[in-house]
Amino acid sequence: MKLTIKDKDFLERLNVLLESKELSIELKEDGLKRFVLRQNYGDRIQSYFNLTRQGVRWRFQRLFNQIYINSYLAVFWIESNFGTELRQMAMEIAKERVELRKKARKMDDFELCRPENRSAEPRSERPEM
């Protein structure tokens, strides 16, 4: 699952609030473990994220309890079946791709995140015969 530009913006804003200790992420155990967002969770947070409280809760849930956890589940499954020998090579590939994305952004000011609205992309038409 890829992150959207809205996800990236949300994570950047969340990071600012986590560093300033206005919010925290905790592990909740009520049958099934999950991440929860804690502390000042009122109107100020809504305006800071430009989302409703439910919107902040939904995006946090999706990013941390779905995408983040599922990434580790995939790694766990692969390493359970193929061992951990590939981990170092996978990390090298990931670091290389991060560097390539940084270079692309600097060179072309080009976003490599998934576009928000795919229907706005031009479609190529087939010539009629």
Tell me which of 44 and 129 has the higher pLDDT: 44
- Tell me which residue of 57, 34, 61, 30 sits closest to 45, measured CA to CA: 57
Whether 127 shows a pLDDT value over 50: the answer reads no
- pLDDT tens-digit profile of 40-92? 667 778 888 998 888 999 999 999 999 999 999 999 999 999 999 999 999 99
Closest-CA residue to 18 (of 51, 52, 34, 41)? 41
DSSP H or E run through 36: strand 33-39
- Domain segments of the chain as ranges: 5-82
For residue 47, what pLDDT is reported?
85
pTM: 0.72
pLDDT at residue 16 tops 90:
yes
Q: Which residues pair with 39 in a beta bridge?
A: 23
